[in-house]
Amino acid sequence: MVKYYGRARQRIGSVNTNQIGLKMSGCPSKVGRKGTIDRYISRRSQCNQKYCGPVYYHGVIWNFNQGACVAKAPRGQSFNSGVGTKVGNPRFACNKTCSTNLDPLTAVKILQGYFRSLGLDLILVGKKETLNTDGVDHPDKFEPIQHFYPGTQEYAALPVIIRNAVDVINGLELEGPLKLGGKPVVHVVGAGTKISLNELYVLGYGHKKVKFGPDVFVRMFQKDKESLITEWSQCNGMNIASATSLVACVAATAIANSVDLEVLEPASVVVCIGMLVLVGVDVTCLLLTFSDWASQ
């Protein structure tokens, strides 16, 4: 970016950075203008117009425009003007539909930003997989998992750009078993609250991470391992009831600290043991079992 002081020219900022502020249209001043003229102009044009979809800044989604916005023209269509465009820029040539092709990494970033704004986590889930089918106790107490694929109400309610991103990920047809040793089934884009997903996590679901980039991954809620309740109930001094209470305490601690169970400090397990007054239990067995279970 270049700023002028009279005849002096000074470069400020970086020409390679997305200059978000400069691309905002802005509204003209109303000072000294009649109200009738101002209302006439507002009917003829929208001064605060924005493009729908993600706004990137330094490669990270900075904002997500939705609501009163317009669809951004595809890259090929926006370049397809002037003399010799298709000859000089063949990669930007616009075909009959001028369709936008998202790569999986970009699609995941768009979906993660969108669902995060709604207080949800992006996941991969079986089409018919629910809290009830996965064995969660009292599933009615938790927010249900949402499924996004053609034919569901959730999919139909999505903005167009989000629906396109969903189609890209679903088109990969990623598969995983819903039972240990079971037949792999196709997983589709889904979303859920951290509390609901934590209930599945302690049952052995969602430990597999599907990587789309160096630091970008999505959890696939396939059946990966035995339930933490089952594992802990095998330690001396523990039973199913005690293990269930301990898991609930540890899961609540993870939610309170906004972390996944796999990165929860073992000290939190010890604290829960003390809070529940679990006497005569093999604490070493509980800690080792938790460490092995979380790291698998």
Does this model's pTM top 0.85? My answer is no
Asked whether residue 95 carries a pLDDT value surpassing 50, the answer given is no
| pLDDT of 25 over the 80 cut | no
Taking phi over 0 as left and psi of -120 to 50 as alpha, with beta for the rest, 114 belongs to alpha
**Is residue 41 helix, strand or coil?**
helix
- Least Cα distance to 208 among 157, 262, 143, 251 occurs for 262
Residue 164 scores a pLDDT above 50:
yes
* Buried-exposed string 177-214: b where 16+ CB fall within 10 A, e elsewhere: ebeeeeeeeebbbbbbbbebbbbbbbbbbbbbebebee
> What is the number of other CB atoms lying within 10 angstroms of the CB of residue 248?
17
C-alpha separations of 255 from 19, 30, 292 in Å:
37, 49, 21
Q: What is the tens place of the pLDDT at every residue in 100-124?
A: 467 888 889 889 889 988 889 999 9
